Amino acid sequence: MDQSEVLKGVAAATFSVKVMFFARLREALGCAGETVFLPTGRPTVEVLRDQLRSRGGPWDTELAPARAVRIAVNQDMATLQTVLKPGDEVAFFPPVTGG
């Protein structure tokens, strides 16, 4: 396999989503947003969440299932079961406290 075929294989096996963090989560993770690559095959928010948790440290503790974390996909409330597609905007944040 020459190099272009290898690169084609990598491109086909993953896609990117834009991930954002707000409020307490943004501060605890030291990250407001980044691009994350996910495996193809209709990955859910749960796949993304687990991939982020595998980084360890605050990623593991802040995104643990026991923590109250809300999720939005493309600016609509979503769940761990929501399926992600290329280019989606996924946000993780604590319960809201406006008003």
Partner 1 sequence: MPVRVQTEDFDVSAEIARLRAGEPKIGAVASFVGVVRDLNDGSNVSQMTLEHYPGMTEKALERIVTEAKQRWDIFDVLVVHRVGPLAPTDQIVLVAVTSAHRGEAFAACEFVMDYLKTQAPFWKKERTGAGSRWVEARDSDDAAAQRWRQ
Residues that bind partner 1 (CB under 8 A): 20, 22-24, 68, 72, 75-77, 91, 93-99
Burial class of residue 26 (count of CB atoms within 10 Å of its CB; 0-12, 13-18, 19+): middle
> Looking at this protein, which amino acid is placed at residue 41?
G
**Is 62 within 8 Å of 28 (Cβ atoms)?**
yes
Determine the Cα angle at 98 with ends 69 and 48, to 5°. Answer: 20
Closest contact distance (angstroms) between CB of 18 and partner 1 is 12
Closest contact distance (angstroms) between CB of 62 and partner 1 is 12
Closer CB to partner 1, 2 or 76, in the complex:
76
Closer CB to partner 1, 56 or 65, in the complex:
65
Closer CB to partner 1, 15 or 93, in the complex:
93
